[in-house]
Amino acid sequence: MDPVTLFLVRCQLLVWKIPHSPSSVFCLEGSLWLTRTADQEDYLLGSGESMLLKPGVWVVQALEASRVQKRTLGKTKEVAHGETGLFPVLQRL
């Protein structure tokens, strides 16, 4: 999906509901505080940093004037139980 880029003023809040597919968030400028419902951790992102947003409701606050980009990631293909890496997949080819 195409990314969404937003400009936030200091102390501006966003509430993002991330459904089943995770999203990524990039702090392009400024600094951000993030938290998720049912998660005891808080997260800080500075300019140039990014993180994966797991499904849930996220609150994002600009700690200063900031530019943030959110991108919904596509569904990821799960590896069969007990298999890791490409070697088991290549063996089946």
The answer to whether position 91 is within a domain reads no
pLDDT at 12: 96
Examine residue 54 and state whether it is found in any structural domain, yes or no.
yes
Q: pLDDT at position 28, please?
A: 97
Find all residues with CB under 8 Å of 25, minimum gap 6, and list them.
32, 34, 45, 50, 51, 53, 60, 68, 69, 70, 71
Asked if residues 69 and 5 have their Cβ atoms less than 8 Å apart, the reply is: yes
Taking the C-alpha atoms of residue 90 and residue 20, their distance in angstroms, rounded to an integer, is: 29
**How many domains does one find in the chain?**
1
In a domain? residue 87: no
Ordered per-residue pLDDT tens for the chain, 93 residues: 568 899 999 999 999 998 888 889 999 999 999 999 988 999 999 999 999 998 999 999 999 999 999 988 865 444 444 444 444 444 444
pLDDT of residue 20: 81
Residue 37 belongs to a domain: yes
Residue 70: alpha-carbon gap to chain centroid: 7
Contact 7, 34 (CB under 8 A): no
Please give the pLDDT value at position 93: 43
Domain CATH code at residue 21:
2.60.120.10
